[in-house]
Amino acid sequence: MMNPMTRRSFAALTGGLLASAKVFAQAQTQPQAPLITRAIPRGGERIPAVGLGTASIFSQDSPATRDKASAVVQALVKQGGRLIDTASSYGDAESVLGAVISAAGLRGKLFIATKLESPDPQELKRSLARLKTASVDLLQLHNVSDKQQSLQPFRDWQQQGLCRYVGITSTFRGDYPAIEAVLQREKPDFVQIDYSIDNRAAEKTILPLAADVGAGVLTALPYGRGRLFRAVQDKALPDWARVFADSWGQFFLKYLLGDPRVTAVIPGTGNPGHMADNAAAMRGPLPDAGQRQRMVDFIKVF
Ligand SMILES: NC(=O)c1ccc[n+]([C@@H]2O[C@H](COP(=O)([O-])OP(=O)(O)OC[C@H]3O[C@@H](n4cnc5c(N)ncnc54)[C@H](OP(=O)(O)O)[C@@H]3O)[C@@H](O)[C@H]2O)c1
């Protein structure tokens, strides 16, 4: 997806930047800066803009997994985060989260999003039991692939107080037409879609439609399942980016948060240090349109 970087293009992009080395001093993540929150379009409730994704991270329940999950959730909350995204299909993740969250008494501090494979009341019952909660904050229909899929059962459950918001998800380009049709017709409260600095198809398709129908946007795969870190593993963060980012993680997340249509990003991690790094992207300045273009151009050369 990224082109090989030439010495010339790298020099062109970084040339003259040494002169801006003084921006190092202004750093960037600013722990005392206010938390970046975003309003959920339907209703205006604000949620912190960086959450935690749990696909494949907590999928095998064990004491070690619970310890890891506990440390990651604590790191999220310590930095002011609230949003955790999981799914009934992520192995044991719901059970691990339910155990960890209830043991720490954190349910009231969290915004829990889960996903069902189909509008099956038994599947919902199982998710609520595993998460040890009477209701979730967001219930999403996972991997929408058919234009005719209905959210009516989810709306009924919303009426019954089993979820506060309803949503749909996909990370498959071939299913975007289905996502668009369901967004248009059902007007869910959220759409969760794959979006990262090197995978920007959603910018032109899903994000404008989400804005039109008043749906919040959660970005799945913000690091392309770690692909972005592998691409920059031997590259230094450019000086000009240090105005708004202290790490590559923050660079990638702040690119996404620089789009006001994005409600929250949900990077996956089983590492509390990475969780703290990700959550730090919720503070300090965000890149403007010009800086975002420069970020894309910079990443393209790798
Ligand atoms: N169809 C759908 O609805 C759908 C599909 C896919 C994903 N999702 C959602 O999107 C979430 C995110 O996707 P993902 O977890 O697959 O991929 P991702 O967030 O794009 O990337 C996760 C990878 O990045 C690494 N990482 C995270 N923070 C880092 C940091 N600060 N520094 C260095 N490495 C870091 C993680 O390793 P470490 O564990 O070592 O930190 C992991 O290898 C999922 O968890 C899930 O909630 C939804």
| pLDDT for res 5 | 36
In this structure, what CATH number is given to the domain that contains residue 101? 3.20.20.100
Count Cα atoms within 13 angstroms, Cβ side, for 188: 30
Residue 299 neighbours by CB under 8 Å, 6+ apart: 2, 197, 198, 228, 231, 232
> Is 53 in a helix, a strand, or coil?
strand
Residues of the chain with pLDDT under 70: 1-31
Atom of ligand 1 nearest to the CA of 54: 45
Domain hosting 130: range is 7-300
Q: What is the pTM of this model?
A: 0.92
| pLDDT for res 192 | 98
Choose one of 225, 237, 263 to mutate for the ligand 1 pocket test, by most ligand atoms within 8 angstroms of C-beta.
225
In a domain, 1, yes or no: no
Q: Is 222 in the pocket of ligand 1 (CB under 6 A)?
A: yes
In a domain, 2, yes or no: no
Average pLDDT, the chain: 91
Cα(17) to ligand 1 centroid in Å equals 31
* Distances 235 to 17, 48, 119, 297 between C-alpha atoms, Å: 15, 30, 45, 15
| pLDDT for res 247 | 98
| pLDDT for res 22 | 35
| pLDDT for res 30 | 66
Atom of ligand 1 nearest to the CA of 115: 3
In a domain, 67, yes or no: yes
| pLDDT for res 14 | 38
In a domain, 213, yes or no: yes
**Atom 41 of ligand 1, nearest CA residue:** 269
| pLDDT for res 301 | 84
Q: How many domains does the chain have?
A: 1
- The DSSP string of 248-264 is HHHHHHHHHHTSTT--E
